C-alpha cells in the first residue's frame, strides 16, 4: 500500500496499471515533432476518439435518424433526439471528469538503461464536489515510448491518489518528460476524450549494467593498501562491538565472545589506498562505423559495472575518460557520482581527444576501451 497510502480512497478503488494498447507490438516513441506539438498544446485543447462501442452507438443513431426521416414516425425522432442528447451529455460529463486535476510524478532515485523502474504518479482532484471517474494517465517522455498507463477508477473530490507504473529506459542519458495525457471514456464509454497536462521533468538514466557473467579484464594493480580511519572491508581491526543481525559470521571474535558470553564481532578499517582508476577510452576513430555507438555503450556499461563491483568490494573508484573524469567515490559510498558521469559521457573525436590526464600513482588501474567491431581487424 505504499503508493496507495497517499490515496484518499480505499484499497478497493485503488488505481491500477495497464498496458498501453500497441505497446506490445513495439509502439513507436513520440517523434521530436510530436513532442514539440505536445509541448505547445494549450491546456484548453481537447482530443476526441470514438471507441468501438461509440462507433456502434453512432451507427445506431444514424440508423434511427434514417428511419425517422424515412417514416416520419415522431417517436423515432424522439429517440433520435435522446441518442444525440446522450452524445452531448457524454461530452459534458467527460469534460467534468478531466477538469480540475493536478498530476505530479515522483521519479526513481536511480534508473538504469534496460532495467525496469517504478515511476509514481499522484493525481489530485481539485474539484470541491464532483468526483472524477475512470481516468487513464499516460506519462509522456521525449523519444521514449510509454508501455504502461495508470488507471484511476474514482478520485473523490478534494482528494488524491497515487499509482506507479513501470518504465524501462532504453538508453542512458537525460530522459525528458513532457507531461501527462489525461484520458477518460467516462461516462458511457462511447468516446475517449483526452487532454495534455504540461508537467516537465527530467530523469538521468544511468548506463545499463552488465550481467553476472561479466569478468573484469586488463586490471593492473599498483600502490600499497593502508588503513583509513573509516570502517570498511580492510585488513586492520578498528574495534569490537556486539553482534547484530546481518553481521558476517566470519567477523565474530571467538575469544572475546567466549570471555563475555555473548557474540562479539570485529570491525575493520577500510583501506584508503585501495583505489581503482577506470580508464575509459571514449575516442571515436576516424573510420568508426555505424556500430561504434553501440560498442561505446557496451564499454560504458563495462565501466559502470566495474565501478559498482569495485565499490562493493571496498575500493575507492574514479572513472577517467578523455577530456574529463568523475569524482572519486570512496569505498562503500553510493556510486551515483560515477554513474551520473557515465550517463552523460559522450564520444570525442580521436584527433581532438585529450589524454587521460593523471591518476593516483598508488591506484590500481583498469583500462576499458571500445570493443572492436565483429569481423573487424
305, containing H or E segment: helix 292-312
Q: Are 132 and 154 in contact (CB under 8 A)?
A: yes
Rounded to the nearest whole angstrom, what is the least distance from the CB of residue 92 to other proteins in the complex? 8
196 preceded by a cis bond (ω within 30 of 0): no
> What residues numbered 15-54 form the site for other proteins, per CB under 8 A?
16-18, 53
Residues 57-116 that bind other proteins (CB under 8 A): 60, 64, 68-82, 84-86, 88-89, 93, 106, 109
In sequence order, what are the residues at sequence separation of 6 or more whose Cβ sits closer than 8 angstroms to the Cβ of residue 175?
111, 141, 142, 144, 169, 202, 203, 204, 205
Q: Residue 106 in contact with residue 123, Cβ under 8 Å? A: no
Closer to other proteins by Cβ: residue 76 or 345: 76
Segment contacting other proteins by CB under 8 A, of 2-10, 33-41, 291-299, 342-350: 2-10
**Smallest distance from other proteins to CB 135, Å:** 10
The smaller minimum CB distance to other proteins, of residues 155 and 279, is found at 155
Residues 34, 114, 168, 188: which binds other proteins (CB under 8 A)? Answer: 188
Pick the closer one to other proteins by CB: 122 or 263.
Answer: 122
Q: How far is the CB of 315 from other proteins (least distance, A)?
A: 15
Q: How far apart are CA 67 and CA 76, in angstroms?
A: 7
Residues 293-352 that bind other proteins (CB under 8 A): 327-330, 333, 337
Which positions ≥6 away from 310 have C-beta within 8 Å? Answer: 276, 317
Report which of 101, 121, 95 is spatially closest to residue 14, judged by C-alpha positions: 121
Virtual CA dihedral for 11, 12, 17, 21, nearest 10 degrees? -170
Exposure of 352 in the CB half-sphere (CA atoms within 13 A): 3
- The pattern of x and - marking residues 349 through 368 that bind other proteins according to CB under 8 A reads --------------------
The distance in angstroms from the start CA to the end CA of the chain is 56
Binding-site string for other proteins from residue 145 to residue 184, where x marks contact by CB under 8 A and - marks none:
------x-xx----x--x----------------------
Task: Please tell me the distance from the alpha carbon of residue 367 to that of residue 320, in angstroms, as a whole number.
Answer: 9
The distance of closest approach from Cβ of residue 43 to other proteins in the complex, given in angstroms and rounded to an integer, is: 22
Cβ proximity to other proteins, 157 vs 371, nearer residue: 157
Pairing of the two strands 264-271 and 227-231: antiparallel
Binding residues for other proteins, rule CB under 8 A, total: 63
> With respect to other proteins, which residue has the nearer C-beta, 201 or 371?
201
Which of 122, 199, 353, 360 binds other proteins (CB under 8 A)? It is: 122
Our CB check for other proteins shows the closer of 6 and 256 to be 6
Considering only the stretches 14-22, 41-49, 277-285, 361-369, report the one whose residues sit in contact with other proteins under the rule CB under 8 A: 14-22
DSSP 329: B
Q: Candidates 21, 26, 128, 246: give the one binding other proteins (CB under 8 A).
A: 128
The beta strands (E) that lie in 126-245 are given as 132-141, 148-155, 159-167, 173-184, 191-206, 219-220, 227-231, 237-242
Nearest distance, CB of residue 13 and other proteins, angstroms = 6
Residues lying near other proteins in the complex (CB under 8 A): 1-2, 4-13, 16-18, 53, 60, 64, 68-82, 84-86, 88-89, 93, 106, 109, 122, 128-130, 133-134, 151, 153-154, 159, 162, 185-189, 327-330, 333, 337
Amino acid at each position: 500500500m505504499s503508493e496507495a497510502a497517499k490515496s484518499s480512497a480505499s484499497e478497493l478503488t485503488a488505481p491500477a496499471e495497464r498496458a498501453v494498447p500497441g505497446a506490445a507490438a513495439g509502439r513507436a516513441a513520440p517523434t521530436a515533432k510530436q513532442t514539440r506539438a505536445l509541448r505547445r498544446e494549450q491546456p484548453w485543447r481537447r482530443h476526441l476518439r470514438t471507441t468501438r462501442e461509440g462507433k456502434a452507438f453512432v451507427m445506431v443513431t444514424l440508423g434511427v435518424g434514417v428511419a425517422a426521416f424515412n417514416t416520419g414516425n415522431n417517436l423515432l425522432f424522439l429517440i433520435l433526439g435522446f441518442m444525440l442528447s446522450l452524445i452531448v451529455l457524454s461530452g459534458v460529463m467527460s469534460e467534468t471528469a478531466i477538469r480540475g486535476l493536478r498530476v505530479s510524478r515522483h521519479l526513481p532515485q536511480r534508473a538504469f538503461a534496460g532495467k525496469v523502474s517504478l515511476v509514481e504518479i499522484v493525481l489530485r482532484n481539485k474539484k470541491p464536489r464532483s468526483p472524477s471517474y475512470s481516468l487513464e494517465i499516460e506519462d509522456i517522455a521525449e523519444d521514449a515510448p510509454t508501455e504502461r498507463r495508470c488507471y484511476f477508477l474514482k478520485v473523490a473530490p478534494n482528494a488524491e491518489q497515487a499509482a506507479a507504473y513501470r518504465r524501462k529506459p532504453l538508453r542512458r542519458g537525460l530522459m525528458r518528460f513532457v507531461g501527462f495525457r489525461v484520458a477518460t471514456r467516462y461516462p458511457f464509454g462511447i468516446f475517449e476524450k483526452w487532454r495534455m497536462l504540461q508537467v516537465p521533468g527530467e530523469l538521468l538514466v544511468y548506463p545499463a549494467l552488465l550481467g553476472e557473467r561479466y569478468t573484469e579484464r586488463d586490471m593492473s594493480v599498483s600502490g600499497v593498501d593502508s588503513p583509513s580511519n573509516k570502517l570498511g572491508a580492510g585488513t586492520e581491526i578498528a574495534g569490537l562491538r556486539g553482534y547484530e543481525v546481518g553481521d558476517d559470521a566470519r567477523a565474530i571474535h571467538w575469544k572475546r565472545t567466549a570471555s563475555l558470553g555473548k557474540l562479539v564481532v570485529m570491525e575493520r578499517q577500510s583501506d584508503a589506498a585501495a583505489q581503482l582508476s577506470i580508464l575509459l577510452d571514449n575516442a571515436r576513430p576516424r573510420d568508426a562505423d555505424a556500430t561504434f555507438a553501440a560498442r561505446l555503450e557496451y564499454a560504458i556499461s563495462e565501466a559502470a559495472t566495474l565501478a559498482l563491483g569495485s565499490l562493493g568490494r571496498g575500493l575507492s573508484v574514479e572513472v577517467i575518460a578523455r577530456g574529463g573524469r568523475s569524482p572519486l567515490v570512496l569505498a562503500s559510498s553510493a556510486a551515483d557520482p560515477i554513474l551520473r558521469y557515465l550517463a552523460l559521457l559522450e564520444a570525442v573525436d580521436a584527433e581532438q581527444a585529450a589524454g587521460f590526464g593523471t591518476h593516483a600513482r598508488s591506484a590500481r588501474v583498469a583500462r576499458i576501451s571500445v570493443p572492436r567491431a565483429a569481423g573487424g581487424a
